[in-house]
Structure 1
Amino acid sequence: MSINCIRSLIESAALTHSDKIAIKHNEKSITYEELLKKVNQVAFYLKELDLPAGSRIGIYSNKGMDQVIAILAILSTNYVLVPLTKLLKSEQVEYIINDCDIRCIITDKLKLESIESINFDGHIISYETAHKDIPSFEEIFKYYKKPYETTVNGHDNAVITYSFGLTGTPKGIVISHRNLIDSARVVSSYLDLQEDDVLSGILIFNLDYGLNQIFCSLYKRATLALHRFILPSDFFNHLINDKVTVVAMMPVTINAMFDEDEHRIPSPELLSNVKTITSSGGNVTPKMVKDIQKYFPHVNFYSMHGLTEAFRSTYLEPSQINIRPESIGKAIPDVELYVINEEGFECKPREVGELIHRGGYIYKGFWNAPIETAQRFKSIQILKNVINLEGQLRDEIVVATGDYVYKDEEGYFYFVSRRDDMIKTRGFRVSPFEVESVVEKNFPQIDQCAIFSIPNDEIEEEIVMVYSARSEIPPKEITFELKNHLASYMIPNRIIYKKSLPLIPSDKNKINKEELKAELLDSLK
């Protein structure tokens, strides 16, 4: 079996750390030896389904120990894991099932009804015994006692992940077994993870950032403590009671963590077990940094920037978080990053261009989507004006990320915008992210802000700002302050107040700008 697969980590951990706690969830825990046994039982059952090699198996359930066992069992076979976050609606699940031809779904009692409503005609497995026609983990653990052996190749497809954005019809990104091992190795290295660490499993396991917590824990023979974030008080209890040392979070969770009466937040002494906090998937604000440093004064805080097409591009060293908090950092180990302009030449310091990712952690492409794959996965010839390609023996693939960034004089990168988000107005390109950042810095009373555009024949597109706050701020006051920080062509033409802003149903980190735009256009008819 290849050493470049998660299966090899499970077997090695069970051999060398058989009695070590691998996973804990509330009052339950499981050792590495017990974990391997249960993974083998489920993998054996999946193998007996006799599906063609490479068949896709979905997991659509709430977080729990059985969910992790299911993930590792699929990765122990020659099938492909397709995580389906429980936040998805039935029609979104049906879209993914059809898009990648899922043959089997592993679920729980709560999601069975959703699956049955879409008339799924493949195999269904439930964690709990539901009714006689649906096999369950309970039955598998009771009756499947045979030894299980497998061969997994590092280059084989391992996972297809989907992220629903504004369009509602995403393309799945294909991740190999080698990709999973590489991502665990590099994160364990630059975060300096240790065997005695306890990693918090608060992220959902539908994307690589969440899945990586499982794999890093296995890689270092550490412990994964599962938790579902609902209330800040419960989360703090999780950190204290589970003696968590490493926490991976989304920025929205960091905000929610401190959305509590100050007197109800535990003292720094009670939270002193935590040594590392990471953030990815959004902008880290000065307030987040301030709150973390107040309650976790000795923690190493890493801000990171990942891609859809590659596991991760950059991270910011904790020592730099107060010096350059807006930076996404520098390239992670084994990665080269370049910023190029539309002519293919390298941008000068502080000149905005497209981020090109070369080196490790590049995924295999988009599932059944040759056009989308060709748009992002490029020949290294795209860098012919930047690096010396003399003597190249193969046509190397790099990722044209679609991220607009710039690099400062010291080599630190700064995110500006996604290519698709850029607004063209009065002959200029405007980044919504840049305007939103200025609003965030200068209007602490504003809770959320969305910058987007609507058509305007005279100036191409006009800029719209929609914001939420406890009370409305006079538009002239907002405009006056923004003029002190932004060029005139970047000032919003319309400023709209709403008590709350809509979020994307399957991604509570993002404001649904398309809904806001549609609402505004309807009102202008």
Structure 2
Amino acid sequence: MNIESENVAFPLDHLAIGKEPEADALVMRSGTLSYKMLNHRVGLLAAWLQGQGLVKGDRVATWLAKTELACIMPLAAARAGLVHVPVNPLLKPAQVVHIVADSGARLLISNAGRLKTLEDSEVNCGLFEDKIVSSDLESIAEPMVPSAATTDTDDLAAILYTSGSTGRPKGVMLSHANLTLGALSVAEYLKLSDDDRTICVLPLSFDYGQNQLFSAWAAGGCAVPLDYLTPRDVMKACAREQITTLAAVPPLWVQLVEHEWPEEAVTSMRRLTNSGGALTPTLVKQLRGIFGSGTDIYAMYGLTEAFRSTYLDPALIDDNPTSMGRAIPFAEILVVDQTGAIAGPDQAGELVHCGPLVAQGYWSDPERTAQRFKKAPGASSYGGTAVFSGDTVKRSEDGLLYFVSRDDAMIKSSGNRISPTEIEEIAVESGIIAEAVALGVPDERLGQAIRLFVRAVDPEPQSAAISDQLGKYLKQNLPNFMHPRDIVPLSEFPKNPNGKLDRNALASMDIE
């Protein structure tokens, strides 16, 4: 069946129903849930949410590791007519407070330790400890039944927060259709089946991470969430659980290829998938050296505003390791020049994503929505609203796409999209420095590392003392993946003719 020719969007919570009720759906440390049990647990949590006095469209946030509650909440919230706001467990209280306040979440569920860090914060919503919620579920007599098939799949189902090149993280609004069609699309082009076992190592707050669950369930397969400390933890879990599908970002692949993989983990692996940064030719060769030709390697490109845009047929990756591939199912990818016309072969232009995977815009932010979400180019077969990515790409004569450059100042490190402005604002809030500029610099392991240029409020202390003081402050107030690798004190920042900080001059500085 050509899924693109069918009207196949459905309510998100229907993913819990499954094709085979007794088949394994979710493997946790505490045990395994069949699809029948998964559907039941989703129904219990949906009933609990409804019992909290929430009404259709209310937001519910989770700040959790990969617990059962975190895995089933997206479906339970959808079943209860609510909107799920997953928060990255690596974020610090300041970022969590912003997301909760910006989304207007009515309640936040987390563990006791994380909730304790919010005691002195202005969090204007109900706070619930995850263990108490899980205990409450056991006393619910009647689970909520699955959503009606007539549910409007354009209804909002989730808000995923992603960093922008300026300002605080912004919430991307995703509908039932966005999420279910994304799940079907990935299951289709990855050729997932009901005997596949997908290990979920990426944060569930990321669209790529969340889709690990959704695409596995769309295919009737099994998802195995894993919070890991070392690459060896991932390898051991792949062997123990006979994993067939592993998704990761380039920095994790760099770590994984440095180790000797157990044979039982290699023989069961059918596919490796990558996004959040480009695979290098060297990495492709190293992965091929470990897994051989029997494991497919999928390179992919995506943006949260449209979930996923392209994938490269694994049969082409050895000869085209730097290509982004072609459009995924339900996506139309255009390359347009500065006049809005379709760019010719090998002509650089902006990647524009059209079709039903395009999100509904940014939550409560019409100005930034208008900058990114615009009327589709006239050449689009879908029409409607398109996402203008801000990324420059080119399409070769054979139709394959290649990344050229990013037009904004976004830093991509360890698969995370990081706003330089967010780092700069926190640095200035320390009171130690007057100005700050954060830049991404090439790093073999991270993709990009963060270099922070600063001008101190008090020029008297030695540079080393300023860097040490500021470094300690940033570790307390920023998640680990936002910590600068380098802090470079300057007595004065270079300015451009307009009097603005000259980021290009800073980027070209020769730093010892």
SS at match of 1:172: strand
Query: Does 1:349 find its partner at 2:345?
Result: yes
- Deviation by residue 1:364-407 (Cα, 9 ceiling, x = unmatched): 11111111111111113xx34xx389xxxx96212211111111
Superposition deviation, residue 511 in structure 1: 8.2
- Separation in 2, partners of 1:38, 1:388: 42
Report SS of the residue matched to 2:203: coil
2:335 match: secondary structure: strand
Which of 1 and 2 has greater Rg? 1
Please, which of 303, 314, 324 is the counterpart of residue 299 of structure 2? 303
**Does 2:402 correspond to 1:419?**
no
Q: Which residue of the partner structure matches residue 86 of structure 1?
A: 89
The CA distance in 1 between the partners of 2:451 and 2:127, in whole Å, is 42
| Displacement of 1:205 | 0.5
Match of 2:261 in 1: 266
- Identity of counterpart residues, as a percentage? 29
User: Could you tell me how far apart the structure 1 residues matched to 2:9 and 2:408 are?
Assistant: 39
Match of 2:288 in 1: 293
- Structure 1 residues 477-492: aligned runs within 5 Å: none
- Residue 216 (structure 2) aligns with: 217
Structure 2 CA distance, aligned partners of 1:388 and 1:8? Answer: 31
TM-score normalised by length of structure 2: 0.78
Cα deviations by residue, 1:244-275 (Å, 9 ceiling, x for unpaired):
10111111211122344xxxx22445421010
CA positional deviation for 1:229: 2.5
Note if 1:46 corresponds to 2:49: yes
The residue aligned with 1:498 is: none
Residues in 2 aligned to 1:332 and 1:276: alpha-carbon distance in whole angstroms: 17
CA RMSD, 1 decimal: 2.9
2:206 is matched by which residue type in structure 1?
A: L
2:137 to 134, 137, 140: 140
Counterpart CA distance in 2 for 1:449 and 1:127 is 35
Residue 524 of structure 1: how far off its partner (Å) = 6.1
Structure 1 99/147 Cα, relative in aligned 2: closer, same or farther at 3 Å? closer
Report the Cα distance in structure 2 between the residues aligned to 1:122 and 1:37, rounded to whole angstroms: 27
What is the distance in 2 between the residues matched to 1:450 and 1:237? 29
Q: Which residue of 1 aligns with 2:241?
A: 242
SS of corresponding position for 1:329: strand
Deviation at 1:22, TM superposition (A): 1.2
Secondary structure of the structure 2 residue equivalent to 1:117: coil
Specify the code of the residue in structure 2 equivalent to 1:404.
T
Do the aligned partners of residues 339 and 451 (structure 1) sit closer, same or farther apart at CA in structure 2, a change above 3 Å counting?
A: farther
Q: Distance in 2 between matches of 1:350 and 1:520?
A: 42
Kindly indicate whether the alpha-carbon contact (under 8 Å) linking 2:250 and 2:275 is maintained by their aligned counterparts in 1.
Answer: yes
Residues in 2 aligned to 1:210 and 1:447: alpha-carbon distance in whole angstroms: 18
- In the TM superposition, 1:428-443 aligns within 5 A as none
Aligned to 1:489: none
Is the Cα contact below 8 Å between 1:70 and 1:106 reproduced in 2?
no
User: 2: distance between equivalents of 1:203 and 1:185?
Assistant: 19
Alignment pair present for 1:104 and 2:107: yes
Please show how residues 392-471 of structure 1 align to structure 2 within 5 Å: 396-421=384-409
- String of CA shifts for 1:189-217, please: whole Å, max 9, x gaps: 11100001001111110021111111112
- Measured after TM superposition, the shift of residue 451 of structure 1 is 9.9
Q: In the TM superposition, what is the alpha-carbon distance from 1:238 to its structure 2 partner?
A: 0.3
**2:355 corresponds to which letter in structure 1?**
G
> In the alignment, residue 153 of structure 1 is paired with which amino acid?
D
Partner in structure 2 of residue 173 of structure 1: 172
Aligned residues: 433
Distance 1:223 1:506 in 2: 31
- For the 8 Å contact 1:23–1:223, the answer to whether it is kept is yes
Instruction: Look up the match of 1:122.
Output: 125
Q: Distance in 2 between matches of 1:341 and 1:3?
A: 32
TM-score by length of 1: 0.76
Identify unmatched segments of 5+ residues in structure 2. 1-7, 411-439, 454-473, 495-512
* 1:341 CA drift (Å): 1.6
Matches of 1:523 and 1:239, distance apart in 2: 51
Distance 1:196 1:523 in 2: 61
| CA spacing shift, 1:522–1:97, aligned 2, 3 Å | farther
State the Cα distance separating 1:360 from its structure 2 match: 3.1
Distance in 2 of aligned mates of 1:356 and 1:276: 28
Residue 67 of structure 2 is matched in structure 1 by 64
Aligned pairs for 1:178-257 within 5 A: 178-257=177-256
Q: 1:523 to 1:123 in 2, by over 3 A?
A: same
Structure 1 residues 90-116: Cα deviation after superposition (integer angstroms, max 9, x where no partner): 010111111111111111223221233
CA change 1:364–1:289 in 2 (3 A) is: same
Residue 238 of structure 1 aligns to which amino acid in structure 2? A
1:254/1:51 Cα in 2 relative to 1: closer, same or farther (>3 Å)? Answer: same
